[in-house]
Every structure is written in structure tokens, then in C-alpha cells.
Amino acid sequence: MTHLIRKPLEPFSVHGYRQGESRLYTHEDLLGHWSVLFFYPADFTFVCPTELKDLGEQYDLFAAEGCEIFSVSMDSHYVHKAWADASETIRALPYPMLADPAGVLARQFGVLLEEEGQTLRATFVLDPEGRVALYEVHDLGIGRSAAELLRKVQAARFVAEHGDQVCPANWQPGEETLTPSLDLVGLL
């Protein structure tokens, strides 16, 4: 078993649905900017719309980070449209809903549940070159937070732009003063 960090995006072409319009989306739609691939098990389920809605409500914040969002399920784009027609929440989603009925993307990212014909609840953040910068994979019932995801996208972008010359800070008031450790080499 290996990890997917820095894995390059492989070519693909799938249909997608966005606010009343369907078109083909390819890997090139995910290049040149940060991207979130947001896999969810299936349309017309209960937990999914809350996650998708949460993500939609924070879409502008992701856009401000130069990050595009793409949700993905193994439903066809016709099913996406039917769901949007039936649900005001889904109709309002500002990002494309990719249709992956053949599991092309689900297999590429290793999140396909073959026997169930669904994907795990998984999120991949890709850098502008299409390489995986971070990912999280949840079992089906465990929801995700758009706010947490946004913080991770910001961190990934920051590190990509500024290298590793920074330390993440957890600003919890009341941290104990650290015991001083003198670096004599830096002084002599």
C-alpha cells in the first residue's frame, strides 16, 4: 500500500453538470489553479447534500484562494440534473458536479467501492500542476467540513508558494514558555 501525495493527475474526460448546463470536463480543467476533487457516494442521499451545500456556501472563499471545486460521484450527469431539478440546494451549487459512472476518476484516486458501485467520501486537493498535495478519505457515514478543507487548501498553497521556511502555528492562548535552548553555533 502506498500513498498518493504528489501523484500526477492522469488524463480523463467525463461529463459534468453545473447550474443547468452540461459539458465535457477533462484533466485540463483542473490545471493552472488549485483544485478540490470532492468524491461523495451518490446523488439523492442525505449526508451528501449537507456537505455539498457547506462547500457551496464557502465557494467564494475557495475561489479567493485560486481554488476550483469539482464534486464527483458515480451518477451520470443526467442524474445530477435530476437531483438539481428536485433540490433547491443542489440547483444552487456554484461548482461543477462531475459524472463518473464508469469509475474512471474513482479508480484513478483509489476510492471506488467496486461491489457497491459508489465511492468513499474522499477529498483530494491538487496543485496547479495537477499533483496531489493532500487528501482525506472517510468511510461512508463520516462527513467533512468545508472550513477544515479551506484551512488545508490555504496551508497547501502557502507551503507551495513559500517553501518550507515556515512553521505552522497553533495559536492557543496559554502556551507555556519554552525552555530556552541556546544555539552557540549561531553566535560564535
Partner 1 sequence: MSIESTAYPAKSPLIAAELEGQLLQLFQKLDRPVQLVCLLGQDEKSTGMAAFLNHITTLSPQLSCRFLAPGEDTALDERLDASLLPATGIFAGEEFTRAVFHGIPGGKEITGFAAAILNAGGAAKPLDRPTLRDIAAIRQPLTLHVCVSLGCQHCAQLVMHAQRIALENPLVTAHMVDANLYPALVQQHSIQRVPLTILNGGRSFPGGKTMAELTTLLARM
| Identity of the residue, 20 or 180, whose beta carbon is nearer to partner 1 in the bound complex | 180
In the set 9, 14, 48, 98, the catalytic residue is 48
- State which H helix or E strand residue 5 sits in: none
Selected range binding partner 1 among 26-34, 43-51, 53-61, 164-172, rule: CB under 8 A:
164-172
Task: For residue 60, state whether it binds partner 1 (rule: CB under 8 A).
Answer: no
Whether 157 contacts 65, CB under 8 Å: yes
| Identity of the residue, 2 or 179, whose beta carbon is nearer to partner 1 in the bound complex | 179
Backbone angles phi and psi of 59, in degrees to 5: -55, -45
Task: For residue 46, state whether it binds partner 1 (rule: CB under 8 A).
Answer: no
Q: How far is the CB of 163 from partner 1 (least distance, A)?
A: 7
Q: How far is the CB of 34 from partner 1 (least distance, A)?
A: 17
Residue 67 catalytic?
A: no
| Identity of the residue, 63 or 113, whose beta carbon is nearer to partner 1 in the bound complex | 63
Those residues with Cβ within 8 angstroms of residue 90's Cβ, 6 or more apart along the chain or in another chain: 43, 49, 52, 80, 83, 84, 97
- When binding is defined by CB under 8 A, the residue of 65, 107, 154, 160 that contacts partner 1 is 154
Task: For residue 178, state whether it binds partner 1 (rule: CB under 8 A).
Answer: yes
Q: Which residues pair with 6 in a beta bridge?
A: none
Query: What is the residue whose three cell numbers read 470532492?
Result: 38
Locate 123 and state its grid cell: 477529498
Those residues with Cβ within 8 angstroms of residue 16's Cβ, 6 or more apart along the chain or in another chain: 22, 23, 24, 25, 70, 77, 80, 96, 97, 98, 99
Task: For residue 20, state whether it binds partner 1 (rule: CB under 8 A).
Answer: no
Chain contacts with partner 1 (rule: CB under 8 A): 151, 154-155, 158, 162-163, 165-169, 171-173, 175, 177-184, 186-187
